[in-house]
Structure 1
Amino acid sequence: MTVRRTRLRAAAIGGVVLLFAAVGVVAAMGFGGGGEDRAQAGTTAPATATVTRQTLADSETADGELGYGTTRTATAKLSGTVTALAATGSTVRRGKALYQVDNEEVVLLYGGLPAYRTLAPGMEGADVAQFERNLQALGYTGFTVDDEYTGSTADAVRDWQEDLGLAETGRVEPGRVVYADREVRVESHQAAAGDLTQPGQTVLTYTGTDRVVTVELDVDDQRLAKRDAKVAVKLPDGRAVDGTVRTVETVVQPGAAGANGQSGDVETKIEVTVAVTDPKALTGFDQASADVTFTVSERRDVLTVPVAALLALAEGGYGVQVAEGDATRILAVTTGLFADGRVEVDGADLTEGMAVVVPT
């Protein structure tokens, strides 16, 4: 997706460089830090702009997609026959089945660490603690939630397996659970009841349950992607709603296929998920586009002038040429934030409402 830039720092610097040619003119005409230049009779009055006091924001707008966020896959780790799948569009919560293999449930649990090994008495690790937290949340007791898989844990697992109709082994095979951060929405089926499945085969895809806006940024724009940062979202119907950056992930995508049909170089992108303050505002928009504006920095109640009004001074730094009736004078200024074609300025004698010369 293409980022449409509203920040004009590069243009601003370019404008300043062009104005360096004016330095010799400024010095030759005798413009000092506070000198005056009386306009000659018959000359055309210079174009001017007004010094304004405003809030200046360094922001960028990117294309976003309305939906349910990142799509993830549930991949089989068991060989057998798919006998049932949770319905597309349905919500699956902790302890409930995403699908069944050989008529036995593969259930959803909450956590960020994928199931990668069989858990059994004597094992230790973060995956043990993650599983035990889920077991406790499902109402099973008699064990301590820690990173050790004990005999007491195995007893609770047998009770869990009995309730699921599984063989009561006291061991947890990685193919029997799928971990997600929270409840999920089934997006699509990649297999059908009756299909044979084997490890590595995609069974279904799922997303989060909340409507969100997903934005894909280039790596160069990673500075925009700050978790919990406030953003503005413009919906397809023109309404504007407030949003907050919920997640920021680096994703690797295959490049476009070449002429010989082989995949091109992979691309690295930054995927940003934005939650809006009023989720109901997103109702009715499926797979639609939205504009998301990221504000990197903001300066409130500052004096600003057009970037083109800046002059590079012979003695160093910048100034503006203030027009006062038939006379002009140069005031030295300190620059701040550049945004939207204007620049924050501060000077000892600079005040709101002054007219500054802008080259035509």
Structure 2
Amino acid sequence: MTAPDETRERERDEETAEFDEAEEPVRGAVNGSGALELHKTGEVSERPPGAVGTGREETDPEKTALEKASLQKTAPEAGGGDGGDGEGTTPPPASGRRRRPLRMSLIVVAAIAVVVAAGAATTGVFGDDGSGSSGAAPSAPPKTAKVERTTLTRTESVDGNLGYGDPTAVQGPAPSKTGAGIITWVPGDGDTIKRGQTAYKVEEQKVPLLYGSTPFYRPLKTGTEGKDVEILEKNLSALGYTGFTVDDTYDAGTSQAVRDWQDDLGRQETGTVQPSDAVVAPGARRVAEVKATAGAPSNGPVLTWTGTERTVTVDLDVQFEDMVEKGTKATVTLPDDTSVQAEVTDIGTPTTPSQDGGSGGSGGGQSGGDDKPTLPVEMKVKDQKGLGRYQAAAVKISLKAETRKDVLVVPINALVAQRGGGYAVQVVEADGDVRTRTVKVGMFSDSMVEVSGTGITDGTVVGVPK
């Protein structure tokens, strides 16, 4: 018979063992060297004499004696077998104190996690909630700029073309009573012809270029008066002929100067100028395309030419018509990103593609935005060297659209978007502190923007984030 106390003790130990077996499938025991040995449930480690114990013998001698008796009773006999009535299969009792290492480990891990989380919160690893309630000032920006008071100009960018302008045709002389003359010489494409130089030859007679705005349309002789007379006398004077007064009257002095001029040209000295004796143009000309060849009849287009200076032409959208007038300045950006200044010299009449002979596309005449009227504009570039070697190129033109005087501006990169809309800037105070101040933005132009707001004055230092 088993003593009641022993029975109760064993039942309590069995319950503890079942709990430990479910929670800890692998057990540990302390060996003689003080190291922890791992054993499966039910496996008992023999403890050599003098080995360090668990301390249970000192606190519960009676329970220790019962455990020893239980071990002896369940030990297998030589050769195998359980050697008992079934009670020998009962696993050795385990003390509840054996779970303490696991519990202590969990407590230590939890404590470490709390310390790490507290450190992260202190150093701001997780950031703030974005509410702006934090009292800490923003960190110093990598760059700064000063608020400036200036005049801000907004521009509109339009497409244009660099070239020598629209070419005009040069017509040969009309047939005379003896028939049309024969072209005997023409210049080459790209040639430049100046005052007094030969534009072409008819039957070896030179036809020179004279500068003026009105072509010769009648014979000029003694007694003739008019603007065409004045043009002739100005050219004769510029070519070095003298003996007359430059005015609008053809007199004897003018007639003698004409004879001298005809002699130098190899012409018959008549003292009278016929309409076909010269070609009148506004200035020096650059040959765009030769239309006639030597041996062809002269009664037709001989060539086309343009001015010698490169100009910029724009088919301007009529919505920008109020932005241009003669004398309007503009910036022209070339394909290599260099720029030159230009000035509007001529404004034409609004036209549409249909007026220009356009086909209107293949969609039944509906070409969308291509049917919008445009305004032809021509611009002169004074700095011809600044155009480099470009003869023809697509360019960008900046036209002045709006100007605001005496406004505060900052670089656009200094703006900081705010939650809920709007903008702010980071103001760097004199003591180095950085404060975020809300601003109202105005006109944008290039890389600058107009701003206003509390604490924003001329000279205020603001941050410019990267």
Work out which of the residue numbers 165, 175, 183 in structure 2 matches 1:69: 165
Q: Name the CA shift for 1:287/1:158 in 2 (closer, same or farther; >3 Å).
A: same
Alpha-carbon shift at residue 304 of structure 1 (Å): 6.9
Deviation at 1:350, TM superposition (A): 8.3
1:175-234 per-position Cα deviation (integer Å, ceiling 9, x unaligned): 222222221211210111111132xx3211112222333333245534333344332121
- Amino acid paired to 1:275: V
The residue identity in structure 1 corresponding to 2:330 is V
Check whether the contact 2:287–2:303 (CA below 8 A) recurs between aligned residues: yes
Instruction: Indicate whether 1:287 and 2:392 are aligned.
Output: yes
Identical-pair percentage: 40
User: Separation in 2 of the partners of 1:119 and 1:220?
Assistant: 48
- CA shift, 1:322, in A, is 11
Indicate the larger mover: 295-304 or 115-124.
Answer: 295-304
Structure 1 residues 322, 92: CA separation in 2 closer, same or farther (over 3 Å shift)?
Answer: closer
- Rounded to whole Å, the distance in 2 between the matches of 1:296 and 1:121 is 55
CA distance 1:170–1:275, shift in 2 (3 Å): same
Question: Which residue of 208, 223, 240 corresponds with 2:322?
Answer: 223
Please report how far the alpha carbon of residue 100 of structure 1 lies from its aligned counterpart in structure 2 after TM superposition.
1.3
Partner of 1:247 in structure 2? 345
Aligned to 1:212: 311
| Counterpart contact for 1:246–1:275, Cα < 8 Å | no
1:215-254 CA-partner distances (Å, limit 9, x unpaired): 332455343333443321211122x323121521426762
In the TM superposition, 1:204-353 aligns within 5 A as: 204-238=303-337, 240-245=338-343, 247-250=345-348, 254-257=356-359, 269-277=375-383, 279-303=384-408
Residue 293 of structure 2 corresponds to residue 192 of structure 1? yes
1:122 aligns to 2:220 (yes or no): no
> Between Structure 1 and Structure 2, which shows a larger proportion of helix residues?
2
Q: 1:221 to 1:126 in 2, by over 3 A?
A: farther
Following superposition, the deviation at residue 291 of structure 1 comes to 0.5
Q: 1:95 maps to which residue? A: 196
Structure 2 CA distance for partners of 1:105 and 1:223, relative to 1, 3 Å: farther
Sort the Cα spacing of 1:321 and 1:219 in 2 relative to 1 into closer, same or farther, 3 A: closer
SS state at 2:399 partner: strand
CA distance in 2, matches of 1:159, 1:182: 23
Task: Tell whether 2:215 aligns with 1:109.
Answer: no
Which ranges of structure 2 fall in alignment gaps of 5 or more residues?
1-130, 133-146, 176-180, 366-370, 413-421, 426-436, 461-466
1:154 is paired with a residue of what secondary structure?
Answer: helix
State the TM-score, normalizing by the size of structure 1: 0.64
Classify 1:197/1:176 alpha carbon distance in 2 versus 1 (closer, same or farther; 3 Å).
same
CA distance in 2, matches of 1:296, 1:117: 48
Higher relative contact order (CA 8 A, sep 6+): 1
Contact 2:208/2:277 (CA < 8 Å) preserved in 1? yes
- 1:83 matched residue in structure 2: 184
Please give the alpha-carbon distance, in whole angstroms, between the structure 1 residues aligned to 2:284 and 2:242. Answer: 23
Over alpha carbons, which structure has the higher Rg? 2
The alpha-carbon deviation at position 146 of structure 1 amounts to: 0.3
Where does residue 203 of structure 1 map in the other structure?
302
Retained in 1: the 8 A contact 2:315–2:374?
no
What is the 5 A alignment of 1:162-181?
Answer: 162-181=263-282
Counterparts of 1:282 and 1:188 in 2: how far apart (Å)? 23
- For 2:331 and 2:424, the matched residues in 1 are separated by 36
Conserved 8 A contact 1:189-1:203:
yes
Runs of 5+ in structure 1 lacking a partner? Answer: 1-43, 46-51, 307-319, 354-360
Amino acid at match of 2:342: T
In 2 relative to 1, CA 117–61 (structure 1 residues): closer, same or farther, beyond 3 Å?
farther
> Could you tell me how far 1:150 is from its partner in structure 2?
1.4
Give the SS at the match of 1:203. strand
Rate the CA distance shift 1:73–1:291 in 2: closer, same or farther, 3 A: same
Q: Is the 8 A contact 2:189 2:288 kept in 1?
A: yes
Aligned partners of 1:114 and 1:345: how far apart in 2? 59
- Work out whether residues 225 and 245 of structure 1, in 8 Å CA contact, stay in contact via their aligned partners in 2: no
Higher strand share: 1
| Partner Cα separation in structure 2 for residue 345 and residue 173 of structure 1 | 69
Letter in 1 for 2:166: T
Q: In structure 1, what is the Cα distance between the partners aligned to 2:201 and 2:343?
A: 35
- Residue type at the aligned position of 1:243: Q
Q: Deviations over 1:58-91 (max 9, x none)?
A: 3222212222233222122333221111222221
Superposed CA RMSD = 4.2
Secondary structure, aligned partner of 1:152: helix
Distance 1:286 1:343 in 2: 37
Q: Closer, same or farther in 2 for the Cα pair 1:225/1:145, shift >3 Å?
A: same
Checking the alignment, whether the CA contact within 8 Å between 1:66 and 1:282 is kept in structure 2 is: no
What is the alpha-carbon distance in structure 2 between the residues aligned to residue 131 and residue 297 of structure 1?
47
Secondary structure at 2:294's aligned position in 1? coil
Residue identity opposite 1:122 in structure 2: G
Residue identity opposite 1:302 in structure 2: V
Take 2:201 and 2:374, find their aligned partners in 1: how far apart are those partners?
A: 35
* C-alpha distance in structure 1 between counterparts of 2:247 and 2:389, whole Å: 44
User: TM-score, with normalisation over the residues of structure 2?
Assistant: 0.51
Whole-Å Cα distance in 2 between the matches of residues 297 and 127 of structure 1?
45
